[in-house]
Chain A
Amino acid sequence: MRLNYPTDIRIVRVPCTGKVDLLHLLRAFEKGADGVCVVGCMEGDCHFNSGNLRARKRVEQAQAILDTIGIGGQRVQMYNLSSGEGTLFAQYATEMHTRIIELGPNPIRAGQREAA
């Protein structure tokens, strides 16, 4: 199975999405990321019971903050799939990529260019 997904997505591996903190998500945007998707196990299938549920809450918190400051909450998204669903991963990656292309670059970068 040779699946393709957009090449401009950088994978950051974590032991469980429960490890992903709100600060990690915000720092990614602060450093100029255009979008972040958190891909966790199916809800109810977390090896650590509630890691992916915690991640979803944090993604929602990040969405609210990004909306408030005008960066756009749609730039961060939570997806759930099982480890055997490579096809779905490629589909989600493409979906996220398309969404970010539509939204355009992180507004922070435009602001920094103006300041410079």
Chain B
Amino acid sequence: MLTADDVLQDIQFELAQSAITHDDLGRAVLAVRRYYNQVRGQTAPSLRREADIRRALADLLRLDDMLLTLAQETAAAIQSLRLDLRRIARPSGPDDAPSDVDTSAGSGILPLERTADARPAAEIETAMRFDALHIGLEVQESRLPLVGRVLQRLKTALHNLVLFYINRLAQRQTLVNQTYGDRLLWLQGLVAAQQQEIEALKARLDALEAQE
């Protein structure tokens, strides 16, 4: 049966959720954009022919789109991870059951498979081990005659920059995961201990009933 304490804990959980990494991602995108703007300003004046300039700019714009899309995907990955963590952190409560099923019928104690230990420890361990997003990008050789090398180096530098930020984000997220994981393992231990106690009490009850 849900109580006001559950509500309080859920509010605290939701408040903590909104404090994670939004700004880091924004800062990463800002840094990429700034770097990009600097490169644009430095590169464009060195090109002489109009056709070269256009090709270089077109490539830069494609690069820009690609990097920004990558940032978007990163955000989606983080969001997905966050949702996964929520699922892990939440006990499979009454909302997961069909609304017409009374899960509390009977003894008043939920069957254990409906509570916390339904989550395999391995899943929690996996969440805790998650330490970095390994994202590699294929950097294709540029065939542009004049600026090919410059663009190649530029692309590599930009990719490295993005990967740096993504990994930093992942590290931050890992800390959060670890906190959740530690808490969950503690809860799991608690549930196991309670289950043992319940079993013991049941056995004692059976023994007393037998005596009567």
Do A and B pair up? The answer is: no
